[in-house]
Copies of this chain bind each other. A is one copy, B any other.
Amino acid sequence: MSTTDKALSLLALFSHVCPEIGLTDLSKQSGFDKATTLRHARALLRSGLLEQNPDSRRYRLGAEILRLANLREGMFPLRTVAQPVVEALAQITGETVHFSARAGDTLGTVIAHTSAKTVRIVVEPGLLLPWHATASGLAFLSQLSSKEGERLVELSVASHPSLAQPDASFVKDAIQLASVRGFAVCADRLERGVAGVASVVFDSSGAPIGTLAVALASAQFDRFKEQSIAEHVVEATTDLSIKLGASPQHTAKRLRAGVAV
């Protein structure tokens, strides 16, 4: 693990429940020495990736991130293109829909549209999804080599110690099923009571870049609903992939068996 990796790992500590973190907490949560943490934080401060609340001196994500996001969106308008697709899928299914993208060794939610139902699943944008315990993660894994998939699952299991360890075969079976059906299903794993259906989005070079997922209360989830939601999810991912420049044939081939299994 390089020095830069350590410094950048501080960024992963911020979340919607923890948007501002002091030096001591930063040090405790990251496991680094306080002096080391300070130096890392200062490097991130200099680059603008973090900034410091002038009152509390606590750290928060910096404005440079917004600039970089604009820059990226200008050249590769992932957000802009995915937003309407997410909304359309939310409209059709009436459930919470989120679009997540792979970033390095993690899968992070980029867009989330919460349903208006009484029992609603709230997905905060910016949420990191474990590879082995979400429909999105499992769907994505089905498009990777088993070697890389195993590496990611290992990382994911290690960084989510609170989750029940998956049976040796669960992940393998889920991936196998997903690669046959073109979508993955996952219920009561990351959180009890939540079920998800997800399928993979490809970019213009045919590489998997993210997932579209529908999340709903598992109490309201059954085989009939699975069937109908999966159809819409697969359709939406195909649509989004094509809008991102992927070839329709390729996308169809990757998600080949469709929902008719």
Q: Flag whether A103 is at the interface (Cβ < 8 A).
A: yes
Contacts of A60 in B (CB 8 A): 72, 75-76
Which of B54, B79, B205, B206 is A53 in contact with, Cβ under 8 Å? B205
Q: Flag whether A258 is at the interface (Cβ < 8 A).
A: no
Q: How far is the CB of A81 from chain B (nearest CB, A)?
A: 12
CB distance A67 to B4 under 8 Å?
Answer: no
Q: Mark A53-95, 1 if CB is under 8 A from B, else 0.
A: 1110000111111111111111110110000000000000000
- For A74, the closest partner residue in chain B by CB is B16
Contacts of A106 in B (CB 8 A): 48, 64
Compute how far the CA of A73 lies from the CA of B62 in the bound complex, rounded to whole angstroms. Answer: 10
CB distance A65 to B75 under 8 Å?
Answer: no
CB distance A71 to B14 under 8 Å?
Answer: yes
* Nearest 8 CB-CB pairings of A with B: A48-B103, A64-B103, A71-B126, A48-B104, A19-B75, A69-B69, A67-B108, A70-B125
Q: A4-B4, A4-B40, A48-B106 are in contact. List 4 more A-B contacts (CB 8 A).
A: A47-B104, A49-B103, A49-B104, A61-B75
